[in-house]
Structures are given as structure tokens and as C-alpha cells.
Structure 1
Amino acid sequence: MNPRFPETAMPIALERLRADTPGIANRIHLNNAGAALMPRPVIEAMKDYLTREGDIGGYEAAGEAAARLDGVYDSVARLINARRDEIALMENATIAWQMAFYALSFQPGDRILTTRAEYGTNYVGFLQVARRTGATIEVIPDDAQGRLDPVALEGMIDGKVRLIAISWIPTNGGLVNPAAEVGAIARRHGIPYLLDACQALGQMPVDVEAVGCDMLSATGRKFLRGPRGTGFLYVRRSVLVTLEPPMIDHFGATWVARDRYELRDDARRFETWENNYAARLGLGVAVDYALDIGLEAIAARCAILSRRLRDGLAAIPGVEIRDLGPGPSAIVSFTVEGRQAEEIKRRAAEKSINISTSQPSSTLLDALARGLPTLVRASPHYYNNEDEIDALVELIGTMRG
């Protein structure tokens, strides 16, 4: 049992949720860490809105749906226990993360603290800023189980630490970093804390007050089951008022005089005027859908399925589970002796099973430290059933036969 998500949580209505998921008729979808299957209400909300745009015009459809579009901020805020004025809706999580990171200022000697398993996109941002400003990047040591070590982090803190930025759940496996313990340290020392929650959101409860992050980036397409091209940025109110976005337009800032502008007083200063309203509505429906099920129930179901998958794979000779940490998430990474990850992905696709791979370059420091090749990545979600898990295990078993 995953101790963070007890299996005594309310059971989910699996058959109803599967009936809501048209994609299961076509594939066994175990690539939810890439892009989950959208539920029918999300798909229908987007289709209906696009039809309306075609019928009456884009601006007019947006005006007609203004209340529903505005309500997305309330839904996202409720999902992460934030205030609506702390939420900016973005095109994706990368832009959300970049808008927060590049709004910070760095000077020579400033220190950026991050993790060994940090996502490649984030890390190249660190490298660029270090090159431009003279800031340095330092990796927080891991503990004996492979998680970020809070004790080691505490020992690294001094007056030069400008930012702590970590991925809660890395892209290359089931590791769950102790985000709340990091938050407690950051708050105690008054250090900005940027949390990449892309792989956490939608498969487990996310509470920004409990975690203590100042900024959080997330996507809609993964475990939240929203559309691609959606994401959001959370910025704590006390931090928000100190940040100027790296880029602005006349939505995020009002042109008030010939030589002066004024930023919005909420997180939407990080947004731009034009966006995909159909996708935003889809994101809002996906958030409400997850809230209706309950994140504790979702987390418990994910723990059951991922444990079944790990146990099944581990029983096959030549299969090595590559996940680190206690209570791993619903991202299961593994290798098969004598088989390349891309071959396994291709063989699975031939059986209508969707899985993915994780390249060393996506988490380069971790790959170098552990000597990791390209990994196979399977990521079940609550709407999967046990037969689908067993189908992948059986396939891998035949590849070792």
C-alpha cells in the first residue's frame, strides 16, 4: 500500500468513468504521464464551444461564454487550495514555469538549488540564466532512497540562495520528492520556491498552502485529463506583487500614459490577451471532473494499479524497475534485458497498448549518475482496469520468453 494515499479512500465508480472515456474502446492507454485520455464531458465542452464559434463568431462566442470562462479560475484555485487572483491560465506548463522563473532577477554569485532528477526544459533555463547573470546552479543531494534530502537542503542554505526550484515528480519515473518539507525550509529562510507539479496534478492531492510553494506550474494534458495546449501558473499573492513578467502585452498591463504602463494586480499579469477559449473550457471541465471524483480516491486507485504493474513486471526475469523512493507515483519506469525501449514501445503499439519512453536527456543528471539508458515508461490512471495492467505485463513476459 502507498502510505501517502491509503486504500481506504472512497472507491471510484470505475464502470461509469470508463463509460465516460471513449478512447478505451480503441487502446489500452498507459501513457497518462504523456497525455491522458480526455473524458467525454471535456471533449463535448470543447466541441460545443467550437461549433458556437463557427455559428456566431469567435469574439461573440467568448462573450456568450464569459461566465463559464471566468469560472475556470475558480475551479483551478479550488483544485490547489489557492485564491483565484493567484492563478494565470497559460498555453502550457513550460510557458507557465518560464514566466515565473524569468520574472526573478539574478546576480553574480546567486545560487539556484535544484534536484538531480530535474526536468531538462527547466535545467536548460537554469543554464541560460547562469550564463547571462553569473548565478550558479547547485544540486541538492538525495537521501538513501533517492529522494531530495531535506536535511542536506537545510545545510546548503545561506544568504546567496536566490531560488529553490524542483520537480515534485520527475518525468523519468515514480519518484515523489518531499515537496512540503522543501516548502517549510524555503519559508523559514524567506527563499522563493518554484515547484513543477506537471506529473503530480491530477494523480494526487495538491495543496499549495500545505506544500508551501510560492510558484507552481502545471499542465492540463497529463493526469488531469484535460486538453493539450493548456496549463496554469500559481503565484502566491505576497510574491506576485513583487514580480514583473519577462514579457507583457496590453492585457497583462494597461497603457496609462505616453511613457507609462501599470501591471494588473493579479496573476493574470502573466497572461496575454489571445488564447484558445475552447481549450480553456476543456481545462475547466477536466478540473471539475477530477474534483467530483475526489483526489484522494484518484490517488488511492493510482497506487493500486501502479503497484500491480510494478509487482507484475518485477516478477519477470530480466526486467528491472528503475523507480526510486518510497511510495512511488503512477509513473512506472523499467528496462528489459536485451531489448531497447523503443522496440518495447513499438511492440506494445502493435497490441494497441500505449506506453512511452524516457530519454536520458530529459533528466540528464539523474541518467548520468545512475547510468540509465532510455527507459520504458508506463503510467496507469484511475480509469484503467486490472486487465489492462495485466495485458502489458503479459506482453513484456512474452518478450523475455
Structure 2
Amino acid sequence: MMISPDPLRRPLGSGDPGAVTHLNAAGAGLMPECVVTAIKAHLDLEARRGAHWAAADASSAIDETRILAGRLTGVAPTHLAFGEQTSRLWALAFAAMPLERGDRILIARNDWGGNILNAVRRAAAIGAELVRLPMTSKGLIDVEQAAALVDERTVAICASAVANSFGLRQPVEALGSIARPDGCLYFVDGAQAVGQFELTLLGTSADILVAPARKWLRGGRGQAMMALSDRALHRLARPIIIDQSAGTWRPDDSFLSRDDARRFEAWEFSAAGRLGLRASLQELDRIGIANVRAHNVETLRRLGAGLRDIPGLTVFEDEDGEAAFLTFQHASLPADIIVAELARRGIAVASVGVDYARWELKARGLQRIVRVAPHIYSSDDDIGRFIEELARLAGRARDDHRPS
């Protein structure tokens, strides 16, 4: 299927100082025109009518966002909560989970750093046991060995569908299928997967599934979603932070939380951002996840072939692996130098260091890597230009290190 070009893409060499080869969808995908239009239109409405009236005018469209997000993640609208940040939603759910001294939490070493830090902090405060899930030599969660760790003390299993540090898709469906106690909640962070992989609550057997708008959904910053299972809604206590809209303030000054996922939401949110997310979900429906995935697979194939041809460069994802993006290091060029030099040439990639992925990078003996994440809007010219500029940088570094 041919995907229609994005009108917001500026052609390279057009003389526009804002022109960029954007290969950082894992950080924030480029918003399509429909998303930008939706956000701007609502901001214009707010300027004319005020934020409250504008939100009331758009209430039907705002409500539709919940329906579309629920459909994407495989839950009813009642089981879908919105927030401003994925890791905050994850942390709210984790903090609401009953936890006692001696309970066991299993968590992947390559889960999102914020998730790990929240788990470490709460486990230490309660006296619970935090256990890292075993990994294979390819950097995937070892499901068979993980199953052997689950016992009656296990209250949570936590993993990312794709890590932020290395691009291989993790076996979260297989991990979710292992036997676990009735009270054990399965947390799946879908930040690097939702929008380019089929990933639903039912498909993963997860109880909590979170994802942001800004990455592969291309919905802009400040919007995130959390899908909850029936078990999660039943087991998760009142959120540690409550909002007046999340329940009922009763005459005796007690608070009765809502029985649906909205008890994790705040009354205050960006209506313009929510409508941008609605537009991005509609755009994804128009293109189709299968077509997004097919495009990205072929783009990553070309990207990987070009990277592996550059002397001194190591690509960390296997050629036959299912990847969301690719990561690499160079023998003599530090990752932050590569990112900065490419940025000077109008090419956007990212690096990931121990400040965001300490457990995973330390386990691999690394400090920082380069991450390249093309998306549906990435062209052959984008990949070719990136490879050409990177090869030029690598060649210059090789010449600098030759003995005189």
C-alpha cells in the first residue's frame, strides 16, 4: 500500500532552516497535519470562547477519543484512563497496588527507568522483594526461566513491550500467559510499541497497559493512556493522589472513588491535546497498523544493511529480530558526539545512557548508545542521507586514529 505523503514534511534542500531528517520517533514522532490542525483549531476556539466553553463545545469529540483509545488497546471506554505522561499513569497504578512485606515483584531490567525507580522505591519502603526477570543472550526476557520465579508471593510482573534502550520486541504475550496468582497484576509498558505493533490488553493478558501519544501514535506531547483489566480495577486501591472529579466528596467528608478507570484521571487536562490524540488515532485507523508495520520493517531492513556496512560500528539488534528501532555504537566515536554532529547536519537521532537505562546498559557493559527510529513518514532518501553522513563521520574518525 502506498501511504500518502505527509504535507508537514519539508523537503530537504528547500532552503527552510527548519528542514530536518527526523529519525527519532522513539522519542517523539512527527505529528501529521491532521493532528496539528486539530490542536490549533481548538486553541483558536479557546482564545475566542474561553477554555471551559470551548471544551463544552468539543465534548463529543473529546469523548470519542476515549472510545478510539479503548478500541486500540482492546478495552471498553470505562477501562481507559488518560493522563499527561505514561510513567505517571504507571506509577499511579503501581502505588495503588496492595503491597506487603515479603511480597515479590518481578521486573525486567530493560523496563522504563521511571517504572524501575518507582518499583525500587516502593519495594524498599515496604520491605518487598524486587527480582529482575532473567534475559536471554539476545536481550529478550527468558519466559521459561521467568515462570520458575513466580510463586504465591508474587504480586506484580512488570515489562516493556519494547525497551527504550534496545529495539527488539519483547515476548510480552508469552510472559503474560504464564501461570500466576489471582492477585498478581501484570504491568506492560507499551510506549515503544503502541502505534506500530498490534498490542492489546487481552492479547498480552496484561492488567495494566500504558502508552503515550507523542511517540508512534504521533499525537503530540502531554497525552497518555492507561488500559485496565477487571482485575486491576478490583485490586487497585484508591489512587494515592485523588482529584475531585475522580469520585464523590460526601457530606461526612469521606471520598468515594469512581469504580471505573477515570478514578486515576485529573479534572484538568489539555482539551486541545486530547483532540490532537483523537486525530492521531483516526489517522492510524486510516493508514492501518499493518501498513505502518510493513513500512517500518522494510525501512529498518534498509537502515540495518547500511549501518552494518560502516566499519567500526556495531548494531545491537539481530537482523532476524522483530525490532521497533535500531541501536548501535561506534568503536571510536562516542554516542553523544554522533548525535550532536548529525544534529548539526539536520538529522535527528537520539542517544540512551545509564541515566535512563542503567540496569540494561550496565548488564551489557555499555554507557551510552545511539538510537535510530524511523517511522511511516521516513523515506529512502532519509535513510540514505543518514547513512551517508554517518559513514562520513566514521571515516573521519578512522582517519584521525591512524598512526602518522
* Shorter-chain TM-score tier: over 0.9
Counterpart of 2:213, as a letter, is G
1:182-261 to structure 2, matched below 5 A, reads: 182-185=175-178, 191-243=184-236, 244-261=238-255
Counterpart of 1:94, as a letter, is S
Specify which of 359, 367, 390 is matched with residue 365 of structure 1. 359
1:161 is aligned to 154
Counterpart of 1:152, as a letter, is Q
C-alpha distance 134-180 of structure 1, shift in aligned 2 (>3 A): same
Counterpart of 1:223, as a letter, is W
Q: 2:146 & 2:218 partners in 1: Cα distance?
A: 34
Q: 1:325 & 1:163 partners in 2: Cα distance?
A: 33
TM-score, normalised via structure 2 length: 0.93
Secondary structure in 2 aligned to 1:400? helix
Q: Which moved more, 1:336-345 or 1:42-51?
A: 336-345
Unaligned 5+ segments in structure 1 are: 1-10
Counterpart of 1:297, as a letter, is N
How many residue pairs get matched? 389
Q: 2:285 & 2:230 partners in 1: Cα distance?
A: 24
1:298 aligned to 2:292?
Answer: yes
1:258-269 to structure 2, matched below 5 A, reads: 258-269=252-263
1:259-338 to structure 2, matched below 5 A, reads: 259-323=253-317, 327-338=321-332
Q: 2:230 & 2:148 partners in 1: Cα distance?
A: 28
Secondary structure in 2 aligned to 1:381? coil
C-alpha distance 181-188 of structure 1, shift in aligned 2 (>3 A): farther
1:7 is aligned to none
1:53-64 to structure 2, matched below 5 A, reads: 53-64=46-57
For the 8 Å contact 2:97–2:235, the answer to whether it is kept is no
Q: 2:204 & 2:187 partners in 1: Cα distance?
A: 11
Q: Note the aligned Cα RMSD (angstroms).
A: 1.7
1:14-163 to structure 2, matched below 5 A, reads: 16-19=4-7, 21=9, 26-163=19-156
For the 8 Å contact 1:145–1:326, the answer to whether it is kept is no
Q: Which moved more, 1:234-243 or 1:333-342?
A: 234-243
Deviation string for 1:206-250 (max 9, x for gaps)? Answer: 122111100011101001101101101111123213322111121
Specify which of 332, 341, 365 is matched with residue 335 of structure 2. 341
Deviation string for 1:29-64 (max 9, x for gaps)? Answer: 001000111000000000000000010111100111
1:6 is aligned to none
Counterpart of 1:172, as a letter, is S
Percent identical residues: 31
Q: 1:51 & 1:285 partners in 2: Cα distance?
A: 17
1:352 aligned to 2:346?
Answer: yes
Q: 2:99 & 2:177 partners in 1: Cα distance?
A: 23
2:401 is aligned to none
Q: 2:241 & 2:319 partners in 1: Cα distance?
A: 38
Q: 1:122 & 1:44 partners in 2: Cα distance?
A: 33
Secondary structure in 2 aligned to 1:18? coil
For the 8 Å contact 1:109–1:136, the answer to whether it is kept is yes
Deviation string for 1:135-157 (max 9, x for gaps)? Answer: 11101111242210110111111
Q: Which moved more, 1:199-208 or 1:60-69?
A: 199-208
